[in-house]
Amino acid sequence: MFFLKMAIKNLSRHKRRTVITALIIAFAILIYILTEGLMIGMTEMSFDNIINLESGHLQVANQDYWDDRRELPLRDLIRPSAAVESELKQTEGFVDLTKRLNFSVNLNNGIDELPVTGVGIEPGQDSQVFELEQHLVEGRMPEADSSEIIMGAKLAELMDFSLGDFAIMLIRTEEKTFNTIDGEIVGLFNTPHPSLNESNIFSSLSTAQQRLNVEDKISHYVLRLEDQDQAVNAAASLTGRLEGELNAYSWRDAAESLVTMLEMQEIETQVILAIILTMAAVGIVNTVILSALERMEEIGMMKALGMHQREIVYTFMGEAAGIGIIGGVMGIIMGSLGLWIFNLNGIDMSALTGGGDINYGFPLSGTIYAGWEISSFIFVFVYGVFVSILASIFPALWAARKDPVKAIYHR
């Protein structure tokens, strides 16, 4: 096709201009790939932390309790039964389950008091569902039927606690009376989940039930599945099989606010890409106009010899597409190299914040690594070429509509 040959020839006429314009597209794609990679990496790490340290893959709770769960109520609790647990074990992809009881605590060191979340866990069984034990930096997990507790190392530092100290946990029972748990600190943990480190205390489930006067009740079951992608369908299926007010909720339900925030940030990323590529489109327009002005006599001659207006437009669009393809390839290569460098050592957030945590709503801390998806590379490449072609249409039409005689005698 003649106009494609002309487009390729025009690209090689001014190599420097072609490369510079393509670099604008390339840098836009580079920024998008790095931003998207960082978001994917942070998202994956956040979801892993929520699943492995906070929610598990599935939670089974009373519907009324679930709606008010952030208030840590002691009403609408579950009385465990063999029949319910047998039903839970029939869930597709089931690996294991554990029971938990969340409750409100005022932590006291004799001088200061701090509101935190208490969590009653089954020692031994809890580690089959969660990875908390893997993040102990000192000591061990609490034993069953004991008053032993573990807490985040940062919380212990804040309250001036050390391993072996006794912490006073002021709690409010189901009857609205006050009680205490004098817990010996037998373990300190430091997880990649900042809020867990700063506001959670874990004790034996039986001890928590006894001191809260809730008999053998729990706030929820937590299930571990083979794959996190099974959770949404498994929750829907399990809810249909459970009787009474019990419902199953996936980890995505537990992290609903984070999922919503990530969706909004994905939109922001697309807007940033659109803005950057719009700026790059200005470079494409400039290149096409300059190319048209330099070849005005040539355009007039081609029209005089019978070349159609649309073929001239196609020639300039082909030239712009070539710039977009070159820029896209350069951007993909630069972006891939950037992600590789980024992931060599990751970004240590604690080093950037002087040892503190900065999460902007993400439940993660420590070293952050980027992720990538082939669909993102394909999207940004196609989008870059599309913007290049789109930006060339109007200047190409302007050049193609010139009168042949005026174009030949153009000065």
Tens digits of residue pLDDT in 189-248: 998 888 888 889 999 999 999 999 999 999 999 999 999 999 999 999 999 999 888 999
Q: Give which of 31, 49, 33, 100 is closest to 366, Cα–Cα.
A: 49
Helix (H, G, I), strand (E, B) or coil at 213: coil
Residue 36 has pLDDT above 90, yes or no: no
Other residues' Cβ atoms within 10 Å of the Cβ of residue 340? 11
Q: What is the pLDDT of residue 61?
A: 94
Is residue 368 a contact partner of residue 360, using CB atoms and an 8 Å limit? Answer: no
Residue 298: enclosing H or E segment and its boundaries? helix 296-304
Same domain, 236 and 127: yes
Same domain, 288 and 344: yes
Same domain, 321 and 185: no
Mean pLDDT along residues 297-309: 66
Q: Give which of 4, 15, 3, 17 is closest to 284, Cα–Cα.
A: 17
In total, how many domains does the chain have?
Answer: 2
Kindly write down the DSSP assignment for every residue of 317-377, as one continuous string. Answer: HHHHHHHHHHHHHHHHHHHHHHHHHHHHH-EEHHHHTTT----TT-S--SEE-----HHHH
Same domain, 69 and 41: no
Instruction: Identify the domain containing residue 327 by its residue range.
Output: 2-49+258-408
246-250 and 367-368: which strand pairing?
unpaired
Same domain, 398 and 372: yes
Same domain, 41 and 183: no
Other residues' Cβ atoms within 10 Å of the Cβ of residue 198? 16
Look up tokens 């606690």; give the residue: 161
Is residue 278 a contact partner of residue 270, using CB atoms and an 8 Å limit? Answer: no
Q: Give which of 95, 41, 102, 50 is closest to 76, Cα–Cα.
A: 102
d(CA 201, CA 205): 12
Q: What is the pLDDT of residue 59?
A: 95
- Per the structure block, which two tokens stand in for 200? 């959670």
d(CA 236, CA 227): 16
d(CA 28, CA 6): 27
d(CA 313, CA 316): 5
Residue 121 has pLDDT above 90, yes or no: yes
Q: Give which of 390, 385, 384, 381 is closest to 285, Cα–Cα.
A: 390
- Residues contacting 111, CB < 8 A, separation 6+: none
Give the largest Cα separation in the chain, rounded. 98
Helix (H, G, I), strand (E, B) or coil at 278: helix
Same domain, 294 and 382: yes
More confident residue, 396 or 212: 212
Q: Which of 210, 232, 251 delimits the end of a domain?
A: 251
Mean pLDDT along residues 3-7: 60
Split at pLDDT 50, 70, 90, the class of 361 is low
Same domain, 221 and 273: no
- Per the structure block, which two tokens stand in for 301? 């001659």
Mean pLDDT along residues 35-44: 82
- Per the structure block, which two tokens stand in for 375? 């669909």
Q: Which of 195, 222, 251 delimits the end of a domain?
A: 251
Look up tokens 């790490």; give the residue: 45
Give the predicted TM-score (pTM) of the model: 0.77
Q: What is the pLDDT of residues 124-163, one digit of tens each?
A: 899 999 999 999 999 999 998 899 999 999 999 999 999 9
Residue 90 has pLDDT above 70, yes or no: yes
More confident residue, 347 or 156: 156
More confident residue, 327 or 260: 327
- Residues contacting 199, CB < 8 A, separation 6+: 116, 117, 152, 155
Q: Which of 236, 251, 266 delimits the end of a domain?
A: 251
Q: Give which of 224, 220, 231, 254 is closest to 99, Cα–Cα.
A: 220
Same domain, 126 and 158: yes
Q: What is the pLDDT of residue 42?
A: 80
Split at pLDDT 50, 70, 90, the class of 23 is confident
Kindly write down the DSSP assignment for every residue of 7-56, as one continuous string. Answer: HHHHHHHTHHHHHHHHHHHHHHHHHHHHHHHHHHHHHHHHHHHHIIIII-
Beta strands in 71-134 (DSSP E): 94-108, 113-121
Same domain, 323 and 350: yes
Torsion of CA 50, 55, 58, 60, to 10 degrees: -160
Q: What is the pLDDT of residue 222?
A: 96
Mean pLDDT along residues 81-92: 92
Same domain, 135 and 240: yes
d(CA 323, CA 331): 12
Same domain, 161 and 109: yes
- Per the structure block, which two tokens stand in for 93? 């992809």
